[in-house]
Amino acid sequence: MLDADFFRRWMTATAASVDREAERLTALDSPIGDADHGSNLQRGFTAVAAALDKEAPGTPGGVLILAGRQLISTVGGASGPLYGTLLRRTGKALGDAGEVSAEQLAEALRAGVDAVMTLGGAAPGDATMIDALVPAVDALGDSFTAARTAAEEGAVATTPLQARKGRASYVGERSIGHQDPGATSAALLIAALAEAAGE
Ligand code: ADP
Ligand code: MG
């Protein structure tokens, strides 16, 4: 079973990995966006880690709802409300339980990803974070490691695609040949989940 401490570890592992990869995320956002994805998420997850340190919610749902709220209020770009919605909706789906199973997490994360698709209007194949998140959720029934691999492959698979949503869609066909920054950061989020699970 996964307790609040597991979810705190997931968020702090994400913050550490976003810190390490911030320059790369921003570099990916340069040719097809406005070169701020790394700094956006760095600001957001730094705030998440600080808030969790201060408040330490006692339930998995509480951890994710607090994290999502921080992202929405501190990240200026499109990715803030999208990741914020992902975590808040996932947290809400987990309810008040003190511990949840991996299956419950997979189901809740599915609800979170659906909420991101509703909010942003992106579908798989539009070259967004959705292209890493959907395969990750599909694989989560197998293992955290399978989800991590699926997310990483999903991110790489955005390279030949033309972006259909977000800022990268403004450059039209010129987005072809560039890996999507948000799909790349979504793969970091899922990798951190495997890390929190000790895989
Ligand atoms: P901004 O585009 O406002 O500068 P960021 O650079 O922080 O925001 O985030 C860009 C990433 O957000 C994209 O690479 C993409 O993965 C994701 N994104 C943008 N718009 C959407 C959307 N409508 N649906 C899903 N993901 C989106
Ligand atoms: Mg940007």
- Name every residue whose Cβ is closer than 8 Å to that of residue 76 and which is 6 or more positions away in sequence: 36, 40
Alpha helices, H only, 56-143 = 60-74, 79-94, 102-120, 130-139
CA distance 137 to 16: 22
Average predicted confidence (pLDDT) for the chain:
97
Pocket probe for ligand 1: among 113, 129, 175, the residue whose CB has the most ligand atoms within 8 Å is 129
3-state class of 100 per DSSP? strand
The model scores a pTM over 0.75: yes
- Residue 143: what pLDDT? 96
Measured in Å, residue 180 CA sits from the centre of ligand 1 at 9
Q: Look up the CATH superfamily of 2-196.
A: DhaL domain (1.25.40.340)
Q: Residue holding tokens 């700094």?
A: 39
Maximal C-alpha separation, the chain: 47
- Residue 199: what pLDDT? 87
Residues lining ligand 1, judged by CB closer than 6 Å? 29, 33-34, 36-37, 40, 77-79, 82, 120-122, 128-130, 165-168, 180-183
Each residue of 30-65: pLDDT tens digit?
999 999 999 999 999 999 999 999 999 999 999 999
The domains of the chain are located at 2-196
Burial label for 32, CB within 10 Å (0-12, 13-18, 19+), is buried
Question: Ligand nearest 76 Cα, by number?
Answer: 1
Residue closest via CA to ligand 1's atom 22 equals 120
